[in-house]
Structure 1
Amino acid sequence: MRILVADAFPEQHLTRLREHHDCTHEPDTTADELPGELAGVEVLVVRSTRVTEAAVAAADSLRMIIRAGSGTNTIACDAASERGIHVCNVPGRNAVAVAELAVALLLALDRGIADNVADLRAGHWDKKRHSRARGILGRHVGVVGLGRIGLAFAERVAAFGVTVHAVAKPDRDRETLDRAEAIGVRFVDDLTALARTCDVLSFHVPATAGTRHLVDRDLLSHVQPGAIILNTSRSDVVDEDALVEAMDAKGVRAGLDVFADEPGGGTGEIDSKLARHPHVYGTHHIGASTEQAQLAVADEVVRMVDAFAGGEVLHRVNSPHQVPAS
Structure 2
Amino acid sequence: MRKILVQIPHNQVELFFTPESLEAIKLLGEVEWNPHDRPFTEEELKARIQGVDTVITTWRSAPITDEVLKNADQLKLVAHMAGSVKPILPTTAIYRKGIRVLNSNYAIGVSVSESVLALILALGHRIIPVDRVMGAGGHPKSAAYESYELRGRTVGLVGLGMVAREVIQLLKPFGVRLLGFDPFVNPETARNLGVELKPLHDLITQSHIISLHAPKVPETFQMIGKEELSLIRDGAILINTARGDLIDEEALIEELKKARFYAGLDVFTVEPLSADSVFRNMSNVIARPHLAGVNPDSRLRIGTLMVQELQHFYNEESLRFEVKEEQLAIMT
Same-fold status (TM-score > 0.5):
yes
Q: Distance in 2 between matches of 1:161 and 1:9?
A: 36
State the aligned residue count. Answer: 302
Q: CA 1:179/1:302 → structure 2, altered by over 3 Å: closer, same or farther?
A: same
Q: Distance in 2 between matches of 1:280 and 1:118?
A: 13
- Contact kept, 8 Å, 1:112 with 1:133, in 2: the verdict is yes
| Higher-RCO chain (CA-CA 8 Å, sequence separation at least 6) | 1
1:228 is aligned to: 237
- Contact kept, 8 Å, 2:7 with 2:61, in 1: the verdict is no
1:109 is aligned to: 123
Alignment of 1:149 onto 2:163: yes
Q: Distance in 2 between matches of 1:168 and 1:57?
A: 35
Query: By how many angstroms is 1:155 displaced?
Result: 3.3
Considering fraction of residues, name the structure with more helix.
2
Query: By how many angstroms is 1:98 displaced?
Result: 1.9
Alignment of 1:3 onto 2:6: yes
Q: CA 1:126/1:29 → structure 2, altered by over 3 Å: closer, same or farther?
A: farther
- Contact kept, 8 Å, 1:3 with 1:21, in 2: the verdict is no
Q: Distance in 1 between matches of 2:108 and 2:229?
A: 29
Identity %: 23
Q: CA 1:172/1:213 → structure 2, altered by over 3 Å: closer, same or farther?
A: same
1:298 is aligned to: 303
Kindly report the root-mean-square deviation, in angstroms, between the aligned alpha carbons of the 2 structures: 3.6
TM-score, with length taken from structure 2: 0.74
Matched residue type, 2:256: M
Matched residue type, 1:125: G
Considering only CA atoms, is the larger Rg found in Structure 1 or Structure 2?
A: 2
1:80 is aligned to: 91
Query: By how many angstroms is 1:261 displaced?
Result: 3.3
Q: Which runs of 5+ in 1 are unaligned?
A: 264-268, 320-326
Q: Which runs of 5+ in 2 are unaligned?
A: 327-332
Matched residue type, 2:323: R
Matched residue type, 1:3: V
Matches within 5 A, 1:1-326: 1=3, 2-6=5-9, 8-12=15-19, 13-19=21-27, 20-24=29-33, 29=38, 34-35=41-42, 38=45, 39-41=47-49, 42=52, 43-47=54-58, 49-50=59-60, 56=65, 59=68, 61=71, 63=75, 64-73=77-86, 75=87, 77=89, 79-82=90-93, 87-120=101-134, 122-128=135-141, 131-167=145-181, 171-172=185-186, 176-180=190-194, 185-188=195-198, 190-249=199-258, 251-262=260-271, 271=275, 273=277, 275-278=279-282, 279-289=284-294, 293-306=298-311, 314=319, 315-318=322-325
Matched residue type, 2:110: V
Secondary structure of residue in 2 paired with 1:103:
helix
Q: Distance in 1 between matches of 2:120 and 2:178?
A: 14
Secondary structure of residue in 1 paired with 2:91:
helix
